[in-house]
Chain A
Amino acid sequence: MNIYLFQLVNGLGLGMIYFLTAVGLSILFGLLNFVNFAHGAFFLFGAYACFEIASRTGSFYLSLLLAPLCVAALGWGLNKFLLNRVMHLAHSAHILITFGIMLVLQELVVLAWGPLPQNVPMPAGLSGALILGSFVYPQYRLFVIGLSIAVAVLLYLVLEKTRFGALLRAASQDASTVSLIGVNVAGIFSAAFALGGWLAGLAGVLTAPMRGVDPAMGMDALAIAFAVVIVGGLGSFTGALVGGLLVGVVQSMMSTVWPEGARLMIYCAVAAVLLLRPNGLLGRA
């Protein structure tokens, strides 16, 4: 297969993984107007919860089920007991507070699991590669891409076609009116945080067998997530998808065109988008 065609396909696959990493962040801003720098910590917790559950039970699939729920609970708890008290503050305060939470959670991970990287084995049945002529692609990555597409569709349906999604969107626009009709707005917002946590945790779980787990992986994920949401537009679900795909394709293509600068080009793409469309490709002001 032509190398550029392969890099394009690889980039689209990578993009879906980046979309999953970033969509929780975009949703929280879009629906709650909240910039959550602890998103990377949710990702990190998801990965380590996966490591712990998989080590104890020998089952990656069990960790796939349980670990994101653990992170959702963490997100719900953080919002209920801390973040909903600072929701009214400026974005700069959100950033400072959640970045502090990120650092605390990262150090807790080091205390609990140590500073050395750990291994999460590939799940049985997905450790090989799909070979179609000259096209070779890891089965596990195909699984992740498929799952990311399914999650994207499910998420869209939840946000656009369910009562919960309607209430969430309504509350994000006019919380006081929604509360007047008897809806527990605080509970809705906590549920949104739990959803954001679940998505980040899921991304962490899916990344763990590909990259292993180490305490610094949350920061790396946060950097990519912010690049994706800035390119796609903060607050836009479709923007996160487009942003993820664009970042993935740029990174993958650049690893052939200019390998030394592949990582740099992600941020050049971010800068270019900010110059041309300050709210991102599909973002709102």
Chain B
Amino acid sequence: MNRRSFLSSAAAVAAGLSAPLVGRSAFAKETVTVGGPLSLSGVFANVGTPVDMGNRMAVEFFNRSLPVQLQYLSLDDQSDPGKGVRKVQEAIQQSGVKYFSGTSNSASAMAVAKEVYGAGGVYVNQAGADSVTGADCNRSTFRWPAATYGAIEQSVRPLIDLHPKARRWYTITGQYVFGEALLANTKRVLAEKQCEHVGNVSHSLSEKEFSGYIANAMAAQPDVLCILNFGNQTMDVIRAAVNFGMKRNVIIIAPWSTGLDQFQALGPDVVEGLYFGIQYWHDLQTPGNRRLLEAYAQQYKDRPNHSFATAFACTQVIAEGIAKAGTADCAQVIKALEGLQYEGICGTETVRAGDHQILKDCYLARGKAKSAMKDAYDFADILSGGQSFLPVEQTGCTFPA
């Protein structure tokens, strides 16, 4: 082989080897990682596990229509906000993650939000604490569920209208910021509707035994027992109230309920006739929810619960922002999200620019009799729904100029 033919052959080989790379780079999408800071172990694992599943499915689902390739990274905080923050810091510094979706509890969400803001990322979560889009708001954070104001407006107010003769209300409240916010909003609505708040008893975050608190409630002889806490404590109070026979002559409402998973844990005999304020229901007849149910049915046999669906909704917000911005640049995505309207699982949802609160419907549901259930998941009927949000100037949220 002479020099000329050697060089020609070498050039041909090099061209052949580089052709796939050239071809690939022309069509390759940017890979964007969405981190899920949630609890896959510890006391909040019962929330974190379905949130993780919802994030994962949403990433697979929305990948089809985005200009980037989404991938998902679970960040197990082991039910410890401090560990969650460290995992997020590592993800940001070592893996360049800028997008985060979901949470298992408000304390973790608020800690993570500060870190993501410091890194100029985007964080969408389903925390319940009002301050997430209130005093502790920041430009990086978006919150999907309605705050306590909306939850109470769309549950307590319509219940009063439904039962105008039930004027005496007794509340059992969790003694933490979230519970106090629920109580303040409930008292405001009761006062406006000229109902009598006959008493309140507060309990600690660690309380498990509620028979004594129910005794206090029964002694006040209310028309309505209003349960202002969340999670397992809501279920513990409901069980105690039903066991003590309060359903006979008292209307019972839990304005902050996670719906299906709680109904399954309580059972239809307990749930029947009770009222619940919920942020999502698997039977909602919206295009966004039908889309979720179709995707869910391809992987699972049951129905999506609150934690799963809200995680899907949070990741959808990220996807919608990237789709509108046409890029994964965080600053541009944040700008694209502000004021954006899209078809979410609860119908048309809007990202409010002033505090990054997603404006969406909340619902009042009533538990059905077991004999009336169409299937194993048909625990409740939606009685009413709507959107209620404080004006931005009243939330306490101020974005720096």
Chain A residues with CB under 8 Å of chain B are: 3, 6-7, 10-11, 14, 110, 114-119, 121-122, 127-129, 131, 136-138, 140-141, 210-212, 214-216, 220, 251-256, 259-264
Contacts and interface: CB of A to CB of B under 8 A. Distances in A.
Interface in B221-275: 232, 235-236, 239, 243-245, 261, 264-267, 269-270
Given A6-B215, A129-B245, A255-B215, A214 B232 contact: yes
Secondary structure call for the A interface: helix
B13 interface: no
Contact of B215 (A10, A114, A216): A10
B206 A263 contact: yes
B216 interface: yes
Nearest to B205: A263
Nearest to A138: B243
A220 B205 CA distance: 13
Contacts of A259: 201-203, 212-213, 216
B118 to A, nearest CB: 31
Interface stretch (B42-50, B327-335, B337-345): B42-50
Contacts, number: 110
A11 B211 CA distance: 9
Given A115-B46, A214-B46, A262 B203 contact: yes
Secondary structure call for the B interface: helix
Contact of A138 (B232, B244, B266): B244
Interface residues of B, number: 35
B49 A256 contact: no
B226 to A, nearest CB: 16
Given A216-B43, A252-B215, A256-B215, 13 more contacts: A116-B46, A117-B261, A119-B267, A138-B244, A211-B208, A214-B265, A255-B201, A255-B211, A255-B215, A256-B212, A259-B201, A259-B202, A260-B204
A47 to B, nearest CB: 13
18 contacts: A6-B215, A10-B212, A10-B215, A14-B209, A115-B46, A115-B49, A116-B49, A116-B50, A116-B264, A129-B243, A138-B245, A212-B265, A214-B232, A251-B212, A252-B212, A253-B212, A260-B204, A263-B207
A212 B239 contact: yes
Name, among B218, B245, B270, the residue most crowded by chain A CB atoms within 10 Å (CB to CB). B245
A212 B240 CA distance: 11
Interface in B9-62: 43, 45-46, 49-50
A14 B218 contact: no
A220 B215 CA distance: 22
A67 B202 CA distance: 36
Given A117-B46, A136-B244, A211 B265 contact: no
